[in-house]
Structure 1
Amino acid sequence: MIKSMTGYGLAGLEDNNFNISVEVKTLNSKFLDLSIRSPKQFSDKELEIRNMVSGVLERGKVNLNIEFANKTSDDLPVGINEELFLNYYNKFQALLQKAGSQSEDIFKLALQSPNVITNVAEKNSDNQEWENVKTAIAKALNECDVFRSDEGKVLEGKFLENLSVIRKGLAEVKVADPVRKERIRERIRNNFKDWLEENSFDKNRFEQELIYYFEKIDITEELVRLETHLDYFEKNLKEDNNQGKKLGFISQEIGREINTIGSKANDAQIQKHVVIMKDELEKIKEQSLNIL
């Protein structure tokens, strides 16, 4: 069963002491491209978080956001330099008096002055806090993985629809190919019949040239290979292992056979089916980029 690289997971934990929320968003990428946003108190856990993510999601562009709020802490996340604030306030008040002006914004102006408010370095998390965060991360990753599996089922259905259209085009080409060959033979026969009767000519050599010509325009092998590639593509949709890159390689081979059929056949009727098959293949290639 294939998986999509597009996914979403959200998990939270809450009790009387804390509130934790973990959000995971994923998109397609050739490798695991992980971006982590978390409180500074968990900055030393980044390697462990990466190992958790890689163990579940494996590949893709992953954005993981952790929010942690401690309900019982009395500590503010910022520090206020009260003495510096009062110095600013008194200085601004004195300037207003000298200017003979009045303002109600002195308090706000002093509070926003340089170095009055500073960020306070967060303490490192204790073991219990981290275990709770890990639980939330694991739940969010699992939700995201389930989301990817569901998206994979949808993509598998689309792939089968695309393959069905290509198979229909292949069947139409198989029907049209004998008619094309007979039409070519008749055209050659009519063009050269009179010329062969009026001129001395090595008929054996001419027949050899015709055989060589028909071998060059023959598409039997391409039709067989195309059908084989389609079967192999469908088989890999059912595999459990990551198939995204392999499906991309197979789609390239499918495209090579379709292009060769179109160029060698050189027939307007067959070319119509080739165009339809190429259009469906482009849809497959685009969707394959999002397969894990």
Structure 2
Amino acid sequence: MTIQSMTGFGKGEASNDDWTITSEIKSVNHRFKDMRFKMSSMFTPIELDLRNKVADVFKRGSFEISLNYKKSEGKSKFDDIDTEKVNAFIDIFKEISKNKGVELTISPGEFLRQDFYKDLEDSSEETISLAKEAFSLALESLTKSRQSEGEKMLKVINSHRAQYEIHYKEIVALADQFQSNVEERLRKKFSEFSTELSVDEPRFLQEVVYYLEKVDVHEEINRIQAHLEKFDSILSSGGEIGRQIDFLVQELNRETNTIGSKSSLKEISDNVVQMKVQLEKIREQGLNLE
């Protein structure tokens, strides 16, 4: 399955001898699914059908959908003049002129006022079918746009994930060294104190083991490895992955923070900072994925 961004734009156009109808759909990220329509009331009867079509194709996003119509090219403005209204107007003025004995003149320009135009809303079956065709083309265009953006985001996410793993492996390499250094410092302190004070060596060594367990980061390292494997599995599976990425980033952040709080080694702390930077960048990109 492909990965889709929630950001995209699609446009479709359909026409016949009389009308050209254009549909545009813009989408941005949203926690759920939200749709807003901007169109003439003549298309209201098909709004529910259009909503269902969007819902069938996309899982999440905020959608702004428009349907606009205009006379097809080649049609003159005079084609829209309502001759019945013009004839009625002329007949009325002829009657007034006859009754009053006053000669009235009428300029052709009078009939270019909006009052003499036909009703430009055409809700015939043919026009509605044209609107559906334009909308379907816009929907197809939006799908391609979202998929294209999704592929770009996937590359960016994989790049940040690779950077995260570089610093993670640095910590893996430093983990044993860090624990050995801590143990060595504690034993050195014990040697210094034991010459001046009476120290219970078994009890001291027990405390050393307890402390080393507290600062041991191998458990967090193992969890991070498991999360990274799950992360790769999600990215390769495709589909609706935005929420899953958000959850995994939270889990990785928790383990990364724990390593930072346990370790006093500067090299580990520096790598933890860089890992958190990469996780935040992944989170930002993930918010835009469906």
Residue 221, structure 1, aligned to residue 227, structure 2: no
Which residue number corresponds to residue 139 of structure 1? 137
C-alpha contact 1:243 1:291 (8 A) present in aligned 2: yes
Which residue number corresponds to residue 124 of structure 2? 126
* Helix, strand or coil at the partner of 2:67: strand
Give distance in 2, aligned partners of 1:70 and 1:41. Answer: 15
* Helix, strand or coil at the partner of 1:212: helix
Residues 202-230 of structure 1 show CA distances to partners (whole Å, capped at 9, x for unaligned) of: 22221111111000000001011111111
% identical aligned pairs: 31
Which residue number corresponds to residue 285 of structure 2? 287
Whichever residue aligns with residue 23 of structure 2, its letter is V
C-alpha contact 2:15 2:130 (8 A) present in aligned 1: no
Which residue number corresponds to residue 230 of structure 1? 228
| C-alpha RMSD over aligned residues | 2.5
C-alpha contact 1:2 1:238 (8 A) present in aligned 2: no
- 1:124 is displaced (CA, Å) by 6.3
- 1:266 is displaced (CA, Å) by 2.1
Give distance in 2, aligned partners of 1:75 and 1:18. Answer: 16
* Helix, strand or coil at the partner of 1:29: coil
- Matched residue pairs, number? 257
Whichever residue aligns with residue 22 of structure 1, its letter is S
Whichever residue aligns with residue 170 of structure 1, its letter is Y
C-alpha contact 1:4 1:149 (8 A) present in aligned 2: yes
Whichever residue aligns with residue 54 of structure 1, its letter is A
C-alpha contact 1:159 1:284 (8 A) present in aligned 2: yes
Q: Which stretch of the first structure deviates more once superposed, 126-135 or 252-261?
A: 126-135
* Helix, strand or coil at the partner of 1:230: helix
Residue 13, structure 1, aligned to residue 14, structure 2: yes
- 1:198 is displaced (CA, Å) by 3.6
* Helix, strand or coil at the partner of 2:21: strand
- 1:240 is displaced (CA, Å) by 3.4
Give distance in 1, aligned partners of 2:55 and 2:255. Answer: 37
Whichever residue aligns with residue 274 of structure 2, its letter is I
Which residue number corresponds to residue 64 of structure 2? 63
Which residue number corresponds to residue 50 of structure 1? 51
Residues 127-177 of structure 1 show CA distances to partners (whole Å, capped at 9, x for unaligned) of: 221111111111111110111111111111111111111111011111112
Which residue number corresponds to residue 186 of structure 2? 188
Whichever residue aligns with residue 74 of structure 1, its letter is D
Give distance in 2, aligned partners of 1:165 and 1:70. Answer: 55
* Helix, strand or coil at the partner of 2:237: coil
Give distance in 1, aligned partners of 2:246 and 2:192. Answer: 53
Give distance in 2, aligned partners of 1:10 and 1:62. Answer: 13
**Cα distance 1:48–1:197, how it changes in 2: closer, same or farther (>3 A)?**
same
- 1:15 is displaced (CA, Å) by 2.5
* Helix, strand or coil at the partner of 2:4: coil
Give distance in 2, aligned partners of 1:58 and 1:275. Answer: 34
C-alpha contact 1:3 1:149 (8 A) present in aligned 2: yes
C-alpha contact 1:41 1:122 (8 A) present in aligned 2: no
Give distance in 1, aligned partners of 2:176 and 2:262. Answer: 14
Tell me which of 69, 80, 99 is aligned to 1:74: 80
C-alpha contact 1:218 1:264 (8 A) present in aligned 2: yes
Tell me which of 255, 267, 272 is aligned to 1:274: 272
Which residue number corresponds to residue 151 of structure 2? 153
**Cα distance 1:253–1:121, how it changes in 2: closer, same or farther (>3 A)?**
farther
- 1:199 is displaced (CA, Å) by 2.9
Whichever residue aligns with residue 6 of structure 2, its letter is M
* Helix, strand or coil at the partner of 1:47: helix
Which residue number corresponds to residue 207 of structure 1? 205
- 1:244 is displaced (CA, Å) by 0.8
Equivalences for residues 22-33 of structure 1 within 5 A:
22-33=23-34
* Helix, strand or coil at the partner of 2:128: helix
Give distance in 2, aligned partners of 1:187 and 1:210. Answer: 10
Structure 1, unaligned runs of 5 or more: 83-110
C-alpha contact 1:56 1:142 (8 A) present in aligned 2: no
The alignment's TM-score, normalised by the length of structure 2, stands at 0.82
- 1:38 is displaced (CA, Å) by 0.9
- 1:10 is displaced (CA, Å) by 0.8
- 1:75 is displaced (CA, Å) by 6.0
C-alpha contact 2:183 2:212 (8 A) present in aligned 1: no
C-alpha contact 1:57 1:141 (8 A) present in aligned 2: no
Whichever residue aligns with residue 38 of structure 2, its letter is R
- 1:200 is displaced (CA, Å) by 2.7
